Amino acid sequence: MQIHEGASGGTSGASEAAPAIRVLMIHADPAVTAVVRKLLADIPAQSFQVEAAHTLQQGFRLLSSAPRMDVILSDLQLPDSRGIETFAKIFKQAPGVPIFILSDAADEAMALLTVGQGAQDYLVRSTLNSNMLLRVLRYAIERKKAEQRLYLAEEKYRTVFENSPAAIIVADGTERISSWNHYTEKLLGMQTADLFLKPVSSLYPAKEWMRIRDEHLRDKGTQAHLETCVFRKDSTLIDVEVSISVVKDVEGRVTGSIGILRDITERKKLERMKDDFISTVSHELRTPMTIIREGISQVLDGILGPTTEDMQQILSIGLEGIDRLTRIVNDLLDVSKLEAGKIELRREHLNMVELAQHVALIFAPQFQKKGIALKTLFSAAQIYCYADRDKITQVLTNLIGNSLKFTEEGEISLEVQEKPGEVVVSIKDTGRGISELDMRNVFQKFQQFGRTAGPGEKGTGLGLVISKGLVELHRGRIGVSTKIGVGSEFYFSLPRYTVREFFKEALEGKLRQAFSQSAHLSMIMLAIKDFPKVERAVSANALSGLYAQMEMRIRQSLNRKMEFASNGSDIFLLVLPSAPKDEALIVSGQIRQIMSDFITEKSRVEPLQVESRVISFPGDGETADQLLDRLGVL
C-alpha cells in the first residue's frame, strides 16, 4: 500500500491498484496520527492520501482548500474544541462526508450520542487494526455514496413531483391525504389546513366517490383511469381526468394510493357545447325531414296524381337521400347520447345464438342480391350472457353491414363462441382489408375507409364509433384485425356475469343515486317456486320473450319507475328508487299476483307460486354486497 502524505510530509508514487481514498485526520497528538498512517500503510491493494490537522480550525482550512475528502477521522478533544460540539461543527462544515470519532478511551454514552447525531462510528484507538480500519472506511464511503444517490433520486423525484403540470395527491392506508404537490393547491385553491389528513372522499361529490369505490382498487391492487369531478375550496366543481394507483409494501399489503388529476374543464366545456349543438341540430332536422319524406312518398306512390318514369326516378333518388340523412341524424344522436352517458341498458338473460341467427336472417336478402355467402358458426346451441337485446342487435347490424359494404365476393362468417368469463362474437369477411394508416382511426368519428368518389355504398362514418360505445357500455371490448387483399375480422366480447355480479351491477348505479340524494331505495327479489313446471311447458328461446312481455305487463300495471333484472330462469330483482320498505312490501304483493297470473296464462301451469323478499337502503345495508347478502343472492 502507498500513502500520499499531505500536510505533514512528502508524497510517494501513485498506486495502480485502486483510486486513493482521501482521509482527513484531525488529532492533537502527532503520535496518534502516525499510528493511523502506519495502519493504513499496511493495507494491501489500496492507497490513501492523508491530510493531517492538529486543531479543528486547521482541519477546516484543509476542508476548504484541498479536494473533497472521502472520510474524516477526528478526536473530540482538540485544543480549540471539545466534546460533542467538535462533532457538531465538523458535521456542519462537511455535510455528506463520513465522519468517524477516534477516541483514546471507550465511552458508551458518548458513542451513542455521536452516532445518533450522524457519526458513522465511534472507534477506540487501542482496538484498531489495518483490516478493521479498511473495512469501516470502505463501508462508510459506500454507504455515503448510496445515501447520496438516494438523496439525488429523492431530489429528482421531488423536483418532478413539485413541478408536475398535474395535481398529485398521496393518500395513506386510511384514505386520508398525506402529501400533495404545489399544483394541487393551485388547482383546488386549497392550502395545507384544507388538505392534510382530510379524507380523500371529501374532494369528490358523493356519487362520484361511490363510482370510484366501485372500481375496488384496493381489493384488486390495480390502476384506474376515469373522468370525474372534484370540489375546489369555494365548493365549485371542476372536471378532471384522474389516474389512481394503489401503493403496496414489500409484502404486498396496500399501504395507500396515489392519484394524478388533470384539469379537463375547458375540454369538457367544449365537448358539451359540441354535443348540445349536434343534439339541437339533429332534433330540429327530424321534423322537417319527416314532412319532406312523407311528401315525396305520396307523390312517388301516385296518391297526389300520376307521375312519369323520369319523375319517379328523380323522386326515388330524393327519397334515398332523405333516408340517408335520417340515418346520419340518428347516428349523430346516438353518438351524442353515448358521449353524454345518457344511454341506459335494459339487460336481460340473452341467448346470443338466437340473436345472431335473427340478425343474419334480416341480412339474407342483401347477401343474396350481392352474391355473397353468409355463414354462421356457434360453439354451442345456446350461449347466454346478460346484455341489452336492442343495443347488441345494433352492434351486429353495424358490423355485418360494414363487412357487406366492402366485400365484393367470397363470404362473410358470423361466429359466436363461449369462452371463460366472456362471450366472443366475430364477423370475418373476404373484403379489401384496411390499410395500416387507416387502422389507427378505425373507431374514430366520421371515418370511412376505402371509399371512392361516385356511386356506391355510403355511410355516416359513425357506425363503428357507436358499436364501440355500446360494447364498452356493456363493459366489453371490441377490436379488429385485417390484411390487405385478404379481409378483415371485427370482434367484440361481452362479460358472462354470475347472477350475483349481474344483480350487483344493476343495483350499484341506483345505490349511488340514492346515496347522493339521501333517498330511500328498496329491492324486491322474486322467485318462481314451481319453475321446473314452467321450464317443461315453455321452450328456452320462448322463455326470454315471455319474461319480456311479463316485464311490460308489470310496468304498465304499476306505472312507476323501477329497474328489472332476471337470471333468465326463476329469480327476478326489482329495484324501486325513492321507495321506503313499507311501500315496497305493498308493491311486492301486487307484483307476485301479476307474475303468477301472467305466467299461468301463458304456460298453463297452475297453481303457480311466486315468493318474494323485500329489503331497503339504508336500513338493511349500505353497499350492494351487504344488500345482496341480506337477499340471499349467491
What one-character-per-residue DSSP string does 203-267 give? GS-HHHHHHHHTT-HHHHT-EEEEEEEEE-TTS-EEEEEEEEEEEE-TTS-EEEEEEEEEE-HHH
426 three-class SS: strand
Low-confidence ranges of the chain (pLDDT < 50): 1-2, 4-5, 7-17, 451-457
pLDDT for position 327:
76
| Residues 55 and 28 sit within 8 Å (Cβ to Cβ) | yes
Radius of gyration of the chain (CA): 39
Question: Distance between CA 363 and CA 379 in Å, rounded?
Answer: 22
Amino acid identity, position 408: E
Question: Distance between CA 492 and CA 426 in Å, rounded?
Answer: 6
How far from 17 is each of 1, 20, 41, 44, CA to CA, in Å? 9, 9, 14, 9
Side-chain-side CA neighbours of 205 within 13 Å: the count stands at 16
pLDDT for position 118:
87
| Interval 380-417: pLDDT, tens | 888 888 888 889 999 999 999 989 988 888 999 999 99
Name the residue with cell 457519526: 119
pLDDT for position 455:
46
- Quick one: 270 exposed, middle or buried, by C-beta within 10 A (0-12, 13-18, 19+)? exposed
| Interval 257-273: pLDDT, tens | 899 999 998 888 887 78
Question: Distance between CA 252 and CA 168 in Å, rounded?
Answer: 23
pLDDT for position 452:
45
pLDDT for position 190:
93
Q: Please give the span between the terminal C-alpha atoms of the chain, in angstroms, as a whole number.
A: 77
Side-chain-side CA neighbours of 530 within 13 Å: the count stands at 17
**Which H or E element spans position 616?**
strand 610-617
Q: Quick check: pTM over 0.85?
A: no
* 326-362: burial string, b at 16+ Cβ within 10 Å, e else: eebbebbbbbbbbbeeebebebbbbbbbbbbeebbee
| Interval 87-145: pLDDT, tens | 999 999 888 788 888 888 888 889 899 888 888 888 888 887 877 777 777 777 777 67
Percent composition of the chain: helix, strand, coil (DSSP 3-state, to 5): 45, 25, 30
607 three-class SS: coil
Question: Distance between CA 427 and CA 405 in Å, rounded?
Answer: 13
